[in-house]
Structures are given as structure tokens and as C-alpha cells.
Structure 1
Amino acid sequence: MADRLKLDTNALARTLRLVQPDLQPHKKLMLGGTGVLLLEVVFRVLEPWPMKIVIDAVSASLGADLATNQAPATLSLLVWCGVALVVIVGLRALSNYLATVAFALVGSRVATALRARVFRHVQGLSQQFHSRNRSADTVQRIVSDVGRLQEVAVTAGLPLLANMLTLVVMLIVMILLDPLLSLVVVVAMLLFFAGSAGTSKKIAVASRKTRKGEGQLANTAQESLSSIKIVQAYGLEDTIADRFSSANNRSLKEGVKSRRLAAGLERRTDLIVGIATAVVLVGGGLRVMEGSMTPGDLVLFTTYLRTTMKPLRDMAKYTGRIARASASGERVADLMDVDAEVRTPNRAVRPQKLLGWVRFDSVLAGYGKEIVLRGVTLTARPGEMIAIIGPSGSGKSTMTSLLVRSLDPKLGEVTLDGHPLRELDLAYLRANVSLLHQEAVLFTGTLRENIRYGRQDATDEEVEAAAQAAHAHDFIMALPEGYDTVVGERGGTLSGGQRQRVAIARALLRDAPVVVLDEATTGLDPEAAVVVLDAIGRLVQGRTTLAVTHDVEMAMRADRVVWLEDGRILRDGPPAQLLAEDPVFRDWVEASGRTPDEIRRGR
């Protein structure tokens, strides 16, 4: 309970700290908006005065004996008061418009900058973070939660700030007009703050649960839609729909609770305001009758009372919105508080050229407390292709993760041309390593754009040359729009072999000295695998290559084969030598159902 109360208290403060860096560039615009907001408050204070003057002047004309010795009404006085009212209202409207535009611009710009900052931060987080956290919830924090911060800043924050300033100024004026009646306003304010404190915390808790539930809802929908082939093939539509409905109902329940609490607070505030207005009408009427106030003073005081009570109504109205914004801000702040485990060092090294000397030196690595690699030492020479094979879970993919610094070793060092990877600029390191996974991921866009991701400044001719080398040119040209054909999400409109060849073209265009292949031919049919293997042969030519594979043919094409098991290297040598001397390796090759000669001939 104490932890929850602490969270409720700190949620708004964390949100403000979160947006503060993005507010700094807009100080002038914020000061300008605040300036015209103060002008609006001044005009609000002045707005009832023409009415007071007219009422007192008309009362004097009708023979009322006013203590202020008010002069009778004249046509010129009435006209000037009318003109003054129009001018004051017009200036107040203009001030409100300028303040709204200024704060809307600040809100939009801050939200845009914050969203970009959060997205960049999330992209820099480790693969371990992304494997632990579901992507739909992360996306919702970046898009929806940041958007809610922006919306509330404009629709709730700005009016609330203006009304609070109005409340303070008008309360001072009311005390000067009639200290006794102004006590009614003070008591009403105290009742409001006493009643809203506990409700605000309950709304914040319910809003936080609502946002968490909406995140789970997004995760369920994303998981189902991204795996729709499996869902439909196994007839899981009803099961997934029930899971979605359960998450939907939980989110609905908490959402209704937060809105019910906010609505209750608003209605209680209306009751407080009504009672305060009634007391002022009765008390003010008595004071006019005894000559302590003029009728104009009563009208002025009553008008101020309504204007002063408006901030209380708005505070009740916006408490729920601000609580929901704080819950959203807290979710974004939680995301930003996650430290990037892998980052560029302060004094990063960027060698002019890398040849491709790769060395693992007594590397101990793993995930959390689990150790996967246990003292691995391995050297790859420039242009050498090493096939890394072994049982599942032996640490093969962990080695590739170390090479692109998706993970850092717990002990030992990985070096490139003698430079420890921890000392290299991270972007520079990754620009010098081409990574090809089992699942070739393409992005929504044209095939030309997907290949050009390998090197953004590549010409169309270079893109097509890379595609030809990857054996992708012919099937691309057979498509209706050729290189301008738009592929669906993750390249789902292409076959596995076609996606892999496009990914190889992208890697060829990158022209990095080091290539990492992580099960690049797994899951392909034999015909597609032959074409992809030939394309891979062109990709790895003259480049240092680490190929994690279960494919016997790829292993036999390598210069060396490294057998990794239980996090240790048990065998290391040319495939022909291992085939002749190592019965375990020979059994592994023969288990493919083809003889070594057939494999060498590509059959």
C-alpha cells in the first residue's frame, strides 16, 4: 500500500521530469503563451465591471440611495460601458486563442520530440529486453501513451492553468470587495480539496490498471494477427477470441471505474458550488439591504463567484484526464528508465579500414545468470569462412550476437582487427558486419528500398547489380512492378527463398568485411536452398564469415568447421580433415542421407 501511495504521489512528477528535456527548446513560446494567458486572466477580472457600473447607475436613476453616491445613468455612459464590454470580451477571446495556439504548438512539438527520443532509446535496448517484453505494449507506450500526454497538456493543462490563475486573482479581488462573503469561497475551496485528494489517488490507480490492461489487449491482438496462419490452421480463433475478450473486459472494468470516480467528483463539486452560490445570494442580498453593498457590487461579486468556482469544476473534470495522463507518463518513464546494456563508449574508436580479423579470446557469455559460452577461444582470418555447428542450445547464435554486440561477454574479449568491440563505435561496428538470419526480414516498401537498406546512398544500378549477384534480379523483374513492387509486412508476399535472396542482395550492397550467417538456409526447400547457397557463395567471397548452420552442404563448403557443444569448442579443422579423422563429424555428415561426394558435387 505504501509503495502504491508513493507511486501515486510521484507519477505526475516523473511525467514532468520525462518531458522537461523536450520543453527546453520551446521556452520562448511557453513564456509567450503564459504572458497572453495572464492577459486573459486580467480581462476576465475586468469583464464584469461595465455591468456593475451600469446597474449602479440605473439604480441611482431610479432613485436608489447608494452609499457610493453613484451618478445617474446617461446614454453616453451606457454606450461607453457597452463598448468597453465588447472590447474586453474581444481581447479576452484573442488572448485565449493565442494562448491555446501557443500551448498546442508546444504540446505537439514536445510530443513529437519525446516520441522520437523514446523510439530511439527502445531501438538501442538489448535483444534480451525485446525478448522479455512484448512489442505491442512497447509500441502502445511510444504512440498512444505519448499522444495522451500531448492531448491532456492542451485540453486539460492549459485550461487548468488559466483557471487556477483566475481563481487566485479573483479571490484577492473578492476579499477586497467583501471579506465576509469571500469566506464562503474559501470554505468551498477547502471542502473541494479535502474531498478530491483521496479520489484523485483512486482515479490514478484505476487509470494505471486501465493502461496496463490496454497494453495486454494490444499484445494479445498483435500475437494473434502476426501468427494468423497458425491460428487458422489449428482452429484457434475461438480460443484467442476468448483470451482477447477476457483482457478486453478487464480493461473495460478499470476504465469504467476511473470514469465513475471522476464523474462522482464532478457532481460533488457541482453541489459545493451550488451551496456556495446560494449562501452568497442570501448573504449578499442582506448586505445590499443594509447598505453595505450596492446592487452592482452584488452582481460583480456573484459573477466573480461563478468565475472563481469554474476552476473547481474544471479541476474535478480534468482530474481524471490528468490522472490518466500521469499513468501514461509513468509507463513511458518506466520504458525510458531501462538502461541500454550495450552502448557506444565515450571515446569510441573508428578505424579507417577493417580487414576482418575476428578473435574470441576466452569468452564467457550468457543471459542473466545462465552461462552459455564457457571460455571460447577462436580466431578467424580475413576472407576465411568458418562453419559453426553443434547441438541446439550449445551457444552458436550467442557467438553471432557477441560479434554485432547485441550482447557483451561476461569475461574475456571479442576483437575485430585487434580492437576490442567494446571500444569501437557501435554504429561503425555494425556497419562493418553483414548479418543474415534464418528468417529474412523485409520491411513494408518496395524491393528497391529493401535492398537499398544495405547502403542508403547506393544508386539504382548498384542495387540491381547486387540483386543480380544474389540471383534475385530475374524473379524481381518477373513481378508486375519489378523493383518498385511493394512487399507486405515482413515480406510476406514473397517465398522464403525469394526473401532470403533479397536479404543477400542487401548484404552484398553493404559490402562489409565480416559476414554472419545464422541458419540462413534452414527451412528452404531443396531447390530454393541450392539457389540461396550459390548466392551466399558470392556474398562470402573474400569476406570473413561465421556461418551458424545445421546444413551439411554449407559446412562442407567452409574453410573450417567448428563443433560447439555445451558452450565449448570440441572440434576445429577443415571439413575434409574432420571427415577423414573424426567419426562424430562423419556420422553427422552421413546423417543427412547424402555421401560426401554427392555433397561436393552439389547433388
Structure 2
Amino acid sequence: MTQKSIPSFWRILHRFAPYLQKQSLLLITAVFALFAEVVLRLLEPWPLKFVFDYILIDAPDKNISILNRFDPVTLLTLSAFGLIAITALRAIASYWSTVSLALASSRILTEIREQLYRHLQCLSLSYHTKARSGDLLVRISTDTTRLQEIVLTAVMPLIVSIMTLLGMIGIMIWIDRDLTLLALITLPFFWFAATRLSERIQQASRQQRQREGAVAATLAESIGAIKLVQALSLQDAFANVFSQANHRSLKESVKTQRLSASLERTVDVVIAIGTAIVLWYGARLALRDHLTPGDVLVFLTYLKQAFKPIQNFAKYTGRLSKAVASGERVLDILDETPEVDDSPFAIVAPPFQGYVRFDCVSFAYQAGNPLLKAIELDVKPGQQVALVGTSGSGKSTLLSLLLRLYDPTEGRVMIDGRDIRDYTLKSLRTQISVVMQDSLLFAATVWENIGYGVPDATHAQIEAAVRLANAHEFVEALPQGYDTILGERGSTLSGGQRQRLAIARAAIRQAPILILDEPTTGLDKHNEKAVITALESVAKNRTTFLITHDLTLAAHADLILYLENGQILEQGTHSQLIQLNKKYTSLYQMQSPADRENKKQEISR
């Protein structure tokens, strides 16, 4: 990990410090066990020293007088049992440190992933329209997993390696200072290699994560639109795009692995050089009786173990560089602030009466390019309003402002005489029901799909909403009735059936305001009639906004708005707009007279 990545490393640790604090008991246990492991690791070579200096050879300097009282066999036995005891205790300490760290890291990872998911759910619609869903999936699943390395599984072992290294260097200096300084002469070479290669590893890791995000995004797009892909024979085109993204990801992955391997092998060479120097000089000191053979053995053992933390440092440096790259990608999302959020003074909305006002509302996705311009509109409680006009005229955007999916650039959207920004988002949106053109159903039972609208709804309430939506008959005919698990996005149902279940989900909320966005588009006559009947039942006594291209359906509204280029050019009842003989009349006359007559008869039945 380079100096450039250290600020990112501390930024990540600081951001997730609260999660570490929650697991303080486990972490304290782990740290205590790690300290014990370090101490026991430092003691491991000493039984071998006693065997060499007090049993195998007659060392000239036997400076531990108490050991001279034991006969060789007893001392050998004690050394053997001592070695077993030290190793066993170290194994126990290692076990508790591993288990504690694993449990703490898993809990922390779970919380981080949940926070990331919740934060993504709260980000404004403008963010999600720009982000690629596949890349977001990679950040939630893979990048958060790699954070486990940066939080615990690399950081804590790295700390142990540093502590072990410092402890061993201290004892080595105590044994022989000159030999220690000679051994450490290789450290600058290691530091140079680690610093140089780690920076390249982090850059390659960041590129690799981006490539993997692109692969996942391409996969999500093609799978999400598999029906269209197969219908238009686009399999090869998408396969080529996926293949290119996949190979770019592979290239970056190979580069990262190659750099990591280079770093570890460089450290191996440095270790070999240091060991050779110590072996040559230490043996000469032993021949001159400046050190005992046991001292040389302990020194070489320590040196080997001291370099092991250095090897681990090289390994963990590469892992940390990869984890830092992943952590930055997670923090990039968490640092995103929702453009639409509760104000500090937001209150819980009281039950709405349904009086809606757009007060000189303008809106632009990009500055200087307004999509809605000075919209003035008053809608009375229980009134049904139809929005018609050319595609791209701002109809859906206008109602998105009512839901606070966006906030106006200028002006105010008001409900019951108060700016909706004064209310909390949850209390606002729970009083507005929505039925979209492409109704989204989930891979769950019918009970659950309808109950998502009101989590505490009873089965009786859900069935009543389904009956109101004219859907009870076909639901009962499903293989397991209301317990039938629907396919993802409701793929096992027809368009009309999906739409009626969506209407039931809107109906169970019993919200005073209802938004219908092209609810009958793409339906055959039979399903369209059933949906219209269901909509009429649900819309009773509710302030209803209907976006539609079907002017026969719009003609029954209390108020019709004709929008063009982000402005309301005409408004009034159907008869009033026909008398004006302007844009609405022209659009109405373009529809087939036969279609209009059939629609009128179907609606009147």
C-alpha cells in the first residue's frame, strides 16, 4: 500500500469505525489472542537453543545456571514438552483470534452491505437513471466482500506481523547487535519494491473493479431485456459486447495478479539474500566463540520468522491495495447525497384531502434546458384529471414532481395548501398510489405482491382489494391461488393480469391521491375493458391523475390538460376543449371514429 493510498485507507477505516465499535468485545478478544500468539511465537525457538547449547554440544557460555542442574535426558524431555506446550498454546491463541475476527468481520460486512443497499434505495431517481444497475450490483456484492479484507482480515494480521517483526528484531539485537544490523540491511530494498509495485497494483485493481462493473452491467441489461434480445436476434451483438468487456476485465485481472506475484517473489529474493548474509557471518562468529551455536540457531529461526511477517506484509499490501480500490467504490455511493430528501424541519403529513396545486412550477434535468415551464394548476379533492399530449411533453415528469421523485427548479407543488417539501417523503408517498404502464411484480406470492402496498394488511383486506381490481377470478384460477409464486416481474401473467394486480396493490393503500400512467397501453380489448372497470372502482372519491394517449378514456375526466413542450396549452372538460377547436380537437379527430365509438360503448357498459 503506497503513500497515495494511505489517505483512502484511513478514510475507509474512519467511515466504518462505528461498525468496529459495535463489535468491540469480539475485537478485544481477537487482539488479546493476537498478542498472546505473538509472545508465544517469540518463545518457540528457545527450546531448540537449550537442546543445542546444553545437550548436543558443550557450549562455552551456559549462562542460565538453573538449567545446569538437570541431566541431559531430563532437559531434553522438558525442552520437547516445552516446544509442544508453546505450539499448542499458540494454536489455541490463533484459533480464538481467527474465530473472533471471522465473526466480527462477517457481522460488519453484513451491516455495511445493508447500509449500502438502504442508501441506494434512498438516492434520487436522477442518480439511478445515470448509474448502471450491473455495476451497482457488483459494488453491493463483491466490493463489500473485499472490504472485509481492509477492515479486518488484512489489517489485523498485518498489525500482528509488524508486532512480531518488532519483537524479533528486539531479541535479535539483544543476541547480537552487529549481526542484526547486517540482517536488516536488506529492508530498504524490500521497502523500495513494495512501494513501487503496490502503487501499480492499486491502479490495476481499480481498473479491474471498473471492468468487472462493466461486465455485470452488460449482463444485467441483456438478461433484463431477454425477450427483446431474442425477438430482434440480438444475441450475437450482446455476446460480442459482453465478450469485449469480459476480456478487458481479464486483462486487468492478469495484470493485477502478475504485479502481486512480482512483489511476493521480489520479497523472496530479498529474504534469501538476508538469510545468506546472516548464515555466513553468524557461523563465523560461532567459530570464534562470540556466539553459541544455539544463539545462531535462534537467530536464524528468528530471522526466518521475522522475514515471514515481511512476506505477509507484501501479500497483505497487495490485498489491501485491491481492497482500497473496492472500498473507494463503496464510499463513492455512500458519499452520494440524495437530491430529494427530508428537510430538517419536515413533518409527518396529516391525512390528505386531495387538493393539489402546482404554483408556477418549472423543472429542468439540466440547467438552461427546462422541461416544464411555469405550470399553473389547481385540482380539487376527488377530481379526475387527464394529461394528454405528444410524447416528451412532460406529462410523466409533472406527476413525478407530485411524488417528489424530483423537486421543482422553480415554484411549488402543494397538497392541501402546503408545500410538499414540508412533509417527510415516507408520509407523502404513502398517501399517493401509483399504477404504471409497466407494472412491476415480484417473485413472490400474490398475497405478498399485494401486501407490499400495506405491510400489515390482512388476507381479508388483500382479497377485497383484488376483488375491487376485478382480479379475484383469475387469481383463484392460478395453480395455488393466492399462494402462487409469480415469476420475476410477473412474467408468468398476461399484461392485463399484471395490471389488475398492480391496481389491487394501489387500491389496498386507500390513498387519497391516485396516479395512473398509461395503465391500458398494450392491452387487448378484453383486458383493457377489465382494467378500465377496475380503475373506475379504485378511482372513486380519489383525486386522480391519468396520463393517457387514449382520448376516449381521457374524455370522461373532470379536467383535461393538453401539454406540449412542457407547457399546458389547453385545459378544460372534453366538451370545452372540443369547442375550442385547437390542438386537443385535432388530436381527438385523428383517432379512428370506429375506435372511439367502440371505446364509448365498452366504457358505458
Q: Give me the identity figure in percent.
A: 41
The 5-angstrom pairing of residues 110-125 of structure 1 reads 110-125=108-123
Aligned to 1:503: 502
CA distance in 2, matches of 1:63, 1:396: 98
2:184–2:274 Cα contact (<8 Å) kept:
no
CA distance in 2, matches of 1:69, 1:307: 25
Is 1:372 the equivalent of 2:368? no
Aligned to 2:157: 159
Aligned to 1:391: 390
The 5-angstrom pairing of residues 428-467 of structure 1 reads 428-467=427-466
CA distance in 1, matches of 2:280, 2:162: 26
Given candidates 36, 41, 44, the residue that maps to 2:38 is 41
State the Cα deviation string for residues 310-348 of structure 1 (Å, max 9, x = none): 011112222222211111111111111211101112222
Q: Which amino acid aligns with 1:11?
A: S
Aligned to 1:277: 275
CA distance in 1, matches of 2:60, 2:24: 54
Cα 1:159–1:471, aligned 2, differ >3 Å: closer, same or farther? same
CA distance in 1, matches of 2:348, 2:376: 25
Given candidates 213, 218, 221, the residue that maps to 2:216 is 218
CA distance in 1, matches of 2:379, 2:182: 84
Given candidates 295, 298, 321, the residue that maps to 1:297 is 295
Aligned to 2:128: 130
Q: 1:18: how far off? A: 3.4
Cα 1:194–1:402, aligned 2, differ >3 Å: closer, same or farther? same
TM normalised by structure 2 equals 0.95
CA distance in 1, matches of 2:254, 2:8: 21
Given candidates 318, 321, 324, the residue that maps to 1:320 is 318
SS in 1 for 2:545: strand
Given candidates 335, 338, 347, the residue that maps to 1:337 is 335
SS in 1 for 2:61: coil
State the Cα deviation string for residues 181-213 of structure 1 (Å, max 9, x = none): 111332222221111101000000011111100
Q: How many residues align?
A: 597
CA distance in 2, matches of 1:491, 1:225: 15
2:150–2:324 Cα contact (<8 Å) kept:
no
Is 1:475 the equivalent of 2:474? yes
Aligned to 2:20: 23
Q: 1:525: how far off? A: 1.8
Aligned to 2:418: 419
SS in 2 for 1:441: coil
CA distance in 2, matches of 1:257, 1:423: 53
Aligned to 1:601: 601
CA distance in 1, matches of 2:174, 2:366: 67
Aligned to 2:243: 245
Q: Which amino acid aligns with 2:63?
A: T
Gaps in structure 1 of 5+ consecutive residues: none
CA distance in 1, matches of 2:306, 2:526: 79
1:14–1:329 Cα contact (<8 Å) kept:
no
Q: Which amino acid aligns with 2:204?
A: A
SS in 2 for 1:362: strand
SS in 2 for 1:394: coil
Q: Which amino acid aligns with 1:186?
A: L
SS in 2 for 1:570: strand
State the Cα deviation string for residues 268-293 of structure 1 (Å, max 9, x = none): 11111111111111111111111111
CA distance in 2, matches of 1:315, 1:102: 21
Gaps in structure 2 of 5+ consecutive residues: none
Given candidates 46, 61, 65, the residue that maps to 2:60 is 65
State the Cα deviation string for residues 42-85 of structure 1 (Å, max 9, x = none): 111111112112211114xx544336376374332222222222
1:57–1:73 Cα contact (<8 Å) kept:
no
CA distance in 2, matches of 1:507, 1:69: 86
The 5-angstrom pairing of residues 540-551 of structure 1 reads 540-551=539-550
SS in 2 for 1:371: coil
Q: 1:583: how far off? A: 4.0
2:349–2:424 Cα contact (<8 Å) kept:
no
1:100–1:158 Cα contact (<8 Å) kept:
no
Name the stretch that deviates more: 76-85 or 263-272.
Answer: 76-85
Is 1:109 the equivalent of 2:96? no
Aligned to 2:489: 490
Aligned to 2:171: 173
TM normalised by structure 1 equals 0.96
Q: Which amino acid aligns with 2:484?
A: T
1:67–1:291 Cα contact (<8 Å) kept:
no
SS in 1 for 2:593: coil
CA distance in 2, matches of 1:69, 1:166: 25
CA distance in 2, matches of 1:415, 1:507: 22
1:400–1:518 Cα contact (<8 Å) kept:
no
Q: Which amino acid aligns with 1:523?
A: G
Cα 1:93–1:422, aligned 2, differ >3 Å: closer, same or farther? same
Aligned to 2:190: 192
CA distance in 2, matches of 1:160, 1:275: 23
CA distance in 1, matches of 2:397, 2:4: 38
2:275–2:303 Cα contact (<8 Å) kept:
yes
Name the stretch that deviates more: 401-410 or 294-303.
Answer: 294-303
Aligned to 1:516: 515
SS in 2 for 1:479: coil
Q: Which amino acid aligns with 1:74?
A: P
Aligned to 1:232: 230
CA distance in 2, matches of 1:112, 1:355: 42
Aligned to 1:526: 525
CA distance in 2, matches of 1:63, 1:513: 98
CA distance in 1, matches of 2:419, 2:446: 36
SS in 1 for 2:147: helix
CA distance in 2, matches of 1:483, 1:50: 73
SS in 2 for 1:354: coil
CA distance in 2, matches of 1:69, 1:165: 27
CA distance in 2, matches of 1:338, 1:153: 22
Cα 1:64–1:37, aligned 2, differ >3 Å: closer, same or farther? closer
Q: 1:579: how far off? A: 2.5
2:13–2:151 Cα contact (<8 Å) kept:
no
2:211–2:246 Cα contact (<8 Å) kept:
yes
Cα 1:537–1:56, aligned 2, differ >3 Å: closer, same or farther? same
Cα 1:520–1:184, aligned 2, differ >3 Å: closer, same or farther? farther
CA distance in 2, matches of 1:296, 1:584: 102
State the Cα deviation string for residues 18-59 of structure 1 (Å, max 9, x = none): 322322212232222112111110111111112112211114
Q: 1:391: how far off? A: 1.2
Name the stretch that deviates more: 592-601 or 49-58.
Answer: 592-601
CA distance in 2, matches of 1:63, 1:457: 84
Q: Which amino acid aligns with 1:331?
A: R
Q: Which amino acid aligns with 2:388?
A: I
Q: What is the CA RMSD across the aligned residues, in angstroms?
A: 1.8
